Amino acid sequence: MDVLNLEPKEVFRYFKEMSDIPRPSYKEKAISDYLVAFAKEHNLEYYQDELFNVIMIKEASAGYEDKPAIILQGHMDMVCETAPGCTKDMDKEGLNLVVDGDFLSAEGTTLGADDGIAVAYALALLSDDTLKHPRLEFVCTVSEEVGMDGAREIDCSMLKGKLLLNMDNEKEGQVLASCAGGGTARIHFPVERESGLADGEVSVEIALLGGRGGHSGDEIDKGRGNASILLGRVLRHVNTKVDFKLISISGGSKDNAIPREARAIIAVSKEKVEVVKEKVEASSIAIALEFAKTDAGLNATCKEVEASFAPFTKECSDKYMLLLASLPNGIRRMSRDIEGLVETSLNLGINHTEEDKVVIGYSVRSSVGTSYMALVEKLKYICEGMGCSVEMYGEYPAWEFVEKSKFRDNLQKVYKDMFGEELKICAIHAGVECGLLSAKIEGLDAISMGPNIYDIHTPEERLSISSAKRSYEFVRKVIEEI
C-alpha cells in the first residue's frame, strides 16, 4: 500500500513530505524552512529563530475563545542510523518508506517517527478547518536527539498556553508525567603514536558486529549488548595471549544510541595473527551464547587490513585498554520508588579515533539529581586519573512528577470514554523536553504521549499505523473537549 493512502491521510501526507527532507540533528534548516512554508500557506502566525526552532500559532475557532490555549510540542530532528550495507547518505537523501501490514518503516535506515509523527500530527491539526479548538501553539524544536539544544534556547515569550501536549512518547495507552534528566559527556583520550609498523608487524581488524542497539533510555534495561564495551572484552581476551598495539578504535555514532557495531585495528606480529584469530573466535562463541536472546546476530570477526594511522605506543595502548575496561556502562541503579523504572544509567555511545586522540561520547541519565552528579564525578575521576579531559554539555533537568494535574485528569476521562480502558500514568528513563519547557513557562501543566513506535534509533524502527490513527483521534478529541 502507498503511504499516501494510509489513514489519517493528512497525517501520513505530511509525514511523507517530511521524510523526503533530510533532517539529522544540527542540520535542520531545510525541514525548518518547510515548516515556515507551511505556516505561510495556512496564514498562521509563526516564529523561526537562529537555531531554526519554529513556533506556529492558530487562534481559537468560534466558541472556543475562552478555552485555555494548548501547546502542541515535538522535535523536527531525527537519529540517522543505517543498516549494514546501506549506502544512503542521510545528510543529503530522504527516506524510502515501506508499508508492511500494520507497520511503516524505512528501507535500510531509521524511520524518524521519533519525532516526525508528532510534527505530522501538529500539521494535520493546524490545517484542519473542521476542528473545533482553542488557541493552538505548536512548538517544534531542533537538536532534541543530541542534548535538547532547541528547547534549552527557544524563546517562549509569545506563548499563552499553560497546557503542554508533548507528542514524543512511543507507547500508546499511557501518558508520561515524569522523566529523567541527563547530559552528554565528551571524553578526550590523548594518543601517542609510533613512527609506523615495526618489522614483522601487520595490521589486523577485530570487529564486533550484529548488535541490535537501541535507544539508550528506552532500551537500556533490555540487556542488549553495547558493541564498544564488548569489543573491549574481546581485545582483553586476545591480550591474554598476544601482545599488540592499538592503531584505531571506533563504534557508534550517537551518544544516546547503543552501538550495534565496533571495530579496532591493531598492530601485531605476523606470526601471531593465527593466535589472534583463535582468541577472537573463542570470544565470538562466548558472546553469541550470552546474548542469544537479546542480540541473536552478535559475532566477532578478524581479518588483516591496511591501516591509516601508525600504532599507539605500547604504553598508550595499554592505558586505553585499561580505560575502556574501567569505564562504567549501563544501568547503575533501579528506582526505589517506581517498580521497573531505571533511575540512573549511562551509555558509551561513541568511540572514535583521530590522529592525536580517541573521542568517547557518553549519554548520562538519572531521575535523581544527586545520583546524576555522583555518576558524572565518577566518570571524571576515572578519566582524569588517566590523563583524559572530560566535558559535560547539553545537560537538561529531570521533569518532576506533579501529583495534581487537571490536564492529565481530562486526558484520562477522554481516553476512558473513547476506548473503555484506563489511561496509564507513567514515568520513563528517557528524556523529553517537558522539563526544560516547564522551567521556561511558569505553571505549565504538561504530559507526553504518542503512538506505538518500536526499536527507535535503529534501522529496525517501525511505527504502528493503526496505533498512529487511534492516537491522532485521541489528540483531536482532547483538543475539542478541553
Q: What is the mean pLDDT of residues 368-372?
A: 92
> pLDDT (tens digit, 9 = 90+) per residue, 139-194?
999 999 988 999 999 999 999 999 999 999 999 999 999 899 999 999 999 999 99
Structure confidence at residue 407 (pLDDT): 96
Percent of the chain with pLDDT over 90: 90
Structure confidence at residue 165 (pLDDT): 98
Residue type for 107, please? E
Structure confidence at residue 398 (pLDDT): 87
Of 189-203, 285-299, 333-347, which gets the smallest average pLDDT?
A: 333-347
Dihedral sign from CA coordinates of 88, 92, 98, 102: positive
**pTM for this entry:** 0.80
> What's phi and psi for 381, nearest 5 deg?
-60, -45
CATH fold of the domain at 3-180+398-480: Aminopeptidase (3.40.630)
Structure confidence at residue 73 (pLDDT): 98
> pLDDT (tens digit, 9 = 90+) per residue, 79-102?
999 998 999 999 999 999 999 999
**Cross-strand bridge partners of residue 176:** 426, 448
Residue type for 329, please? N
448, 449, 450, 456: which is closest to 468 by C-alpha?
450
> pLDDT (tens digit, 9 = 90+) per residue, 320-368?
999 999 999 999 999 987 888 999 999 999 999 999 999 999 999 999 8
> pLDDT (tens digit, 9 = 90+) per residue, 382-401?
999 999 999 998 898 888 88
Structure confidence at residue 337 (pLDDT): 79
**Residue ranges of domains in the chain:** 3-180+398-480, 183-396
Sort 241 into a burial class: Cβ within 10 Å, 0-12 / 13-18 / 19+.
Answer: exposed
317, 349, 310: which is closest to 189 by C-alpha?
317
8 A C-beta contact, residue 479 and residue 134: yes
* CATH 3.40.50.2000 correct for 183-396: no
Structure confidence at residue 479 (pLDDT): 98
Q: Which three cell numbers stand for residue 72?
A: 502542541
> pLDDT (tens digit, 9 = 90+) per residue, 12-68?
999 999 999 999 999 999 999 999 999 999 999 999 999 999 999 999 999 999 999
Structure confidence at residue 147 (pLDDT): 82
Q: Which residue shows C-alpha cell 595499554?
A: 318
> What pLDDT band is residue 218 in, cutting at 50, 70 and 90?
confident
* Per-residue pLDDT at 409 exceeds 80: yes
> What pLDDT band is residue 465 in, cutting at 50, 70 and 90?
very high
* Per-residue pLDDT at 1 exceeds 80: no
Structure confidence at residue 117 (pLDDT): 98
The overall average pLDDT reported for the chain is 95
Strand ranges, E, within 163-321 = 163-166, 174-179, 181-190, 201-209, 214-215, 245-251, 257-258, 262-269, 299-304
Helix (H) or strand (E) holding 273: helix 273-290
Q: What is the mean pLDDT of residues 440-469?
A: 96
Q: Which residue shows C-alpha cell 581485545?
A: 235
8 A C-beta contact, residue 227 and residue 186: no
According to DSSP, residue 202 is labeled E
